């Protein structure tokens, strides 16, 4: 042993480490760690104790240089077994299995080394940074387990231990738990050099105050950041929803244009064909059977009526969108209006019957043109979607709640459960397929008209089959529906 050993020892925070102590030193710079390590070795040798250093290869290299600078030839001490400088990576390869420390291998590796050293020297001090390597690789469980294995080894073997971790490992918020656990697993904790090197209590209190301020500031910053991130997330979500809505609107518009073009073209083609045929026949043969001409002209009128209805629906949609569809109320006998509506629909094509169940009269303040439009639409749907020869039942009654209830019941296929909520939506057609002579607007317009009257409309699906549309209207504008009506 050279005289330098006694000169260098006794300065580090872990220089006097009685057996069974398990210390941890945090550090910011390698230079500080190596200075501490060199003092640790010097103290150990000076006091005639044995030291085992398990460090990374670069740290071992620099430690040897530092010791040499201070006249300590590590090879001399290694030869006597007083100093063992062990490569951390090499040691770990001997007991780590699948990135986890194997307790038996660990015990079999370090147990004998410590026991043998302890036989020849009064006490053994170990410095280890294998835990820093596992922590650096984000192997948190391996780090905790390894610290525990050292703690267990201290129960059966007589040695003190100092671990070291660079502070940079704990720079993320996620590493806070590991740091807390590592501190818990050690009997003494030495903060990094920013604090450890301060000489007086005054300096240390000042530093703690500044650190507390930094912690508060960081916490506030984290909160602001979390808030800003949440706002950004919400803004992105709102933007995504708006984009989706715009895309849906565009898609609906495109679909609608194609449906509208198709629906308008069908009656127009038929109308043109029949009108041309009528013209040709009347030109070619002045003695043409007037009944045939009448028949052709009648079908022209029917097709023109379909066209007019479809164009009327388009106009209504644009009026509803612009808020210009208004209700012109009059005191009307709704029974007569209902009978007139039934007469205006053609139930002969599929040989269907329409039955009316209504009182003799029922007066209400409604817009007769618009209500007729609603009834006709519901009737046409009922006929359109019901089988040949079936019966459509229309009921009209006064309800005690002070409203009139009109229902149209058919024997059709009903509407699939998954689509029931959507049939009153604009352009919605069940199965997303164009229905004969429709654009998915009828029920939408019906609901809007009924709601402009202060009423409501809904569909019911009786167990015996078919669909029953129910319209409820207040008798006068001064008597709005008392309660929402649920089925
Ligand atoms: P359209 O004019 O295309 O028939 P509507 O708005 O009147 O559009 O109806 C929307 C959808 O609801 C239709 O595509 C049809 O599938 C369904 N529907 C309406 N009435 C009935 C009914 N009485 N029975 C079965 N399905 C119906």
For 89-158, the DSSP string reads HHHHHHHEETTEE-HHHHHHHHHHHHHHHHHHSS-EEEEE-HHHHHHHTT-HHHHHHHHHHHHHHHHHS-
Which among 242, 137, 140, 237 has a CA at the least distance from the CA of 185?
140
CA-closest residue to ligand 1 atom 14 = 429
User: Which pLDDT belongs to residue 371?
Assistant: 96
How far is the centre of ligand 1, averaged over its atoms, from the C-alpha of 428 (Å)? 8
Mutate to test the pocket of ligand 1, among 379, 392, 393, 423 (most ligand atoms within 8 A of CB): 423
Q: Which is the closest atom of ligand 1 to the Cα of 430?
A: 16
Mutual orientation of helices 201-284 and 290-322 as an angle, nearest 10°?
160
How far is the centre of ligand 1, averaged over its atoms, from the C-alpha of 397 (Å)? 24
| Number of Cβ within a 10 Å radius of residue 459 | 18
Q: Which is the closest atom of ligand 1 to the Cα of 419?
A: 12
End-to-end alpha carbon distance in the chain = 99
Mutate to test the pocket of ligand 1, among 345, 387, 429 (most ligand atoms within 8 A of CB): 429
Q: Are residues 354 and 394 in contact, defined by beta-carbon separation less than 8 angstroms?
A: yes
Which residues sit with their C-beta closer than 6 Å to ligand 1? 381-382, 385, 410, 412, 415, 423, 428-430, 435, 438-444, 467
How far is the centre of ligand 1, averaged over its atoms, from the C-alpha of 454 (Å)? 23
State how far the alpha carbon of 454 is from the alpha carbons of 116, 373, 479, in Å. 97, 16, 9
How far is the centre of ligand 1, averaged over its atoms, from the C-alpha of 440 (Å)? 7
CA-closest residue to ligand 1 atom 16 = 430
Q: Which is the closest atom of ligand 1 to the Cα of 414?
A: 25
CA-closest residue to ligand 1 atom 7 = 442
Q: Which is the closest atom of ligand 1 to the Cα of 428?
A: 10
User: Which pLDDT belongs to residue 265?
Assistant: 82
How far is the centre of ligand 1, averaged over its atoms, from the C-alpha of 415 (Å)? 9
Which among 160, 162, 142 has a CA at the least distance from the CA of 55?
162
Q: Which is the closest atom of ligand 1 to the Cα of 424?
A: 6
User: Which pLDDT belongs to residue 342?
Assistant: 97
Mutate to test the pocket of ligand 1, among 440, 466, 468 (most ligand atoms within 8 A of CB): 440
How far is the centre of ligand 1, averaged over its atoms, from the C-alpha of 345 (Å)? 16
Q: Which is the closest atom of ligand 1 to the Cα of 434?
A: 3
Which among 302, 407, 393, 413 has a CA at the least distance from the CA of 352?
393
How far is the centre of ligand 1, averaged over its atoms, from the C-alpha of 414 (Å)? 10
CA-closest residue to ligand 1 atom 2 = 438
CA-closest residue to ligand 1 atom 13 = 429
What is the distance between the alpha carbons of residues 147 and 140, in angstroms, rounded to a whole number? 11
How far is the centre of ligand 1, averaged over its atoms, from the C-alpha of 325 (Å)? 22
Q: Is the dihedral of CA 57, 60, 66, 71 positive or negative?
A: negative
How far is the centre of ligand 1, averaged over its atoms, from the C-alpha of 429 (Å)? 6
Where does residue 256 rank: exposed (0-12), middle (13-18), buried (19+ CB within 10 A)?
middle
Within 309-463, strands assigned E span 330-333, 353-357, 363-366, 391-399, 403-409, 456-460
User: Which pLDDT belongs to residue 95?
Assistant: 97
Where does residue 79 rank: exposed (0-12), middle (13-18), buried (19+ CB within 10 A)?
exposed
pTM, two decimal places: 0.53
How far is the centre of ligand 1, averaged over its atoms, from the C-alpha of 434 (Å)? 10
How far is the centre of ligand 1, averaged over its atoms, from the C-alpha of 372 (Å)? 18
Mean pLDDT, consecutive 10-residue stretches, the chain (487 aa), reads: 39 59 94 94 94 97 96 94 96 97 97 95 95 96 97 94 95 91 93 84 89 89 94 96 92 78 81 83 72 82 85 87 90 96 93 96 94 96 95 95 94 93 89 68 96 96 95 81 44
Render 169-199 in DSSP notation, one character per residue: GG-SGGGHHHHHHHHHTSSEEE--HHHHT--
CA-closest residue to ligand 1 atom 12 = 423
User: Which pLDDT belongs to residue 9?
Assistant: 39
- Helix, strand, coil fractions of the chain, as percent rounded to 5: 55, 15, 25
Mutate to test the pocket of ligand 1, among 391, 407, 415, 460 (most ligand atoms within 8 A of CB): 415
How far is the centre of ligand 1, averaged over its atoms, from the C-alpha of 430 (Å)? 7
CA-closest residue to ligand 1 atom 4 = 438
């Amino acid at each position: 042993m050279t005289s330098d050993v006694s000169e260098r020892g006794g300065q580090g925070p872990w220089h006097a480490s009685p057996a069974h102590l398990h210390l941890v030193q945090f550090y910011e710079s390698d230079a500080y760690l190596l200075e501490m390590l060199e003092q640790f070795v010097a103290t150990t040798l000076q006091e005639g104790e044995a030291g085992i250093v398990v460090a990374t290869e670069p740290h071992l290299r620099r430690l040897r240089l530092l010791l040499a600078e201070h006249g300590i030839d590590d090879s001399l001490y290694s030869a006597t077994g007083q100093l063992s400088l062990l490569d951390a990576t090499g040691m770990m390869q001997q007991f780590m299995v699948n990135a986890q420390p194997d307790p038996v291998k660990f015990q079999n590796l370090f147990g004998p080394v410590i026991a043998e050293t302890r036989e020849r020297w009064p006490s053994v001090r170990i410095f280890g940074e294998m835990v820093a390597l596992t922590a650096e690789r984000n192997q948190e469980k391996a780090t905790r387990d390894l610290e525990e294995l050292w703690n267990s080894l201290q129960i059966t073997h007589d040695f003190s231990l100092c671990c070291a971790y660079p502070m940079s490992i704990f720079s993320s918020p996620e590493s806070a738990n590991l740091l807390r656990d590592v501190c818990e697993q050690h009997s003494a904790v030495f903060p990094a050099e920013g604090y450890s090197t301060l000489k007086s209590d005054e300096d240390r209190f000042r530093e703690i105050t500044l650190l507390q301020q930094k912690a508060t500031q960081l916490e506030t910053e984290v909160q602001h950041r979390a808030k800003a991130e949440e706002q950004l997330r919400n803004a992105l979500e709102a933007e995504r929803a708006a984009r989706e809505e715009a895309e849906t609107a565009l898609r609906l518009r495109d679909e609608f244009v194609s449906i509208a073009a198709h629906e308008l073209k069908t009656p127009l083609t038929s109308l043109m064909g029949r009108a041309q045929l009528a013209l040709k026949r009347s030109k070619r043969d002045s003695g043409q059977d007037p009944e045939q001409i009448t028949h052709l002209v009648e079908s022209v009128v029917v097709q023109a009526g379909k066209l007019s209805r479809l164009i009327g629906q388009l106009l209504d949609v644009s009026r509803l969108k612009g808020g210009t569809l208004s209700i012109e109320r009059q005191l009307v006998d709704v029974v007569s209006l209902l009978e007139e509506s039934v007469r205006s629909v053609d139930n002969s094509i599929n040989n269907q019957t329409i039955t009316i169940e209504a009182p003799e009269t029922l007066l209400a303040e409604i817009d007769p043109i618009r209500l007729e439009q609603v009834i006709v639409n519901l009737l046409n749907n009922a006929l359109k979607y019901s089988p040949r020869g079936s019966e459509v039942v229309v009921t009209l009654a006064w309800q005690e709640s002070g409203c009139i209830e009109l229902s149209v019941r058919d024997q059709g296929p009903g509407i699939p459960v998954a689509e029931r909520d959507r049939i009153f939506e604009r352009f919605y057609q069940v199965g997303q397929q164009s229905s004969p002579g429709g654009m998915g607007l009828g029920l939408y317009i019906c609901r809007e008209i009924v709601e402009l009257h202060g009423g409501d409309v809904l569909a019911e699906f009786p167990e015996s089959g078919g669909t029953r549309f129910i319209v409820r209207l207040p008798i006068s504008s001064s008597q709005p529906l008392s309660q929402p009506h649920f089925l």
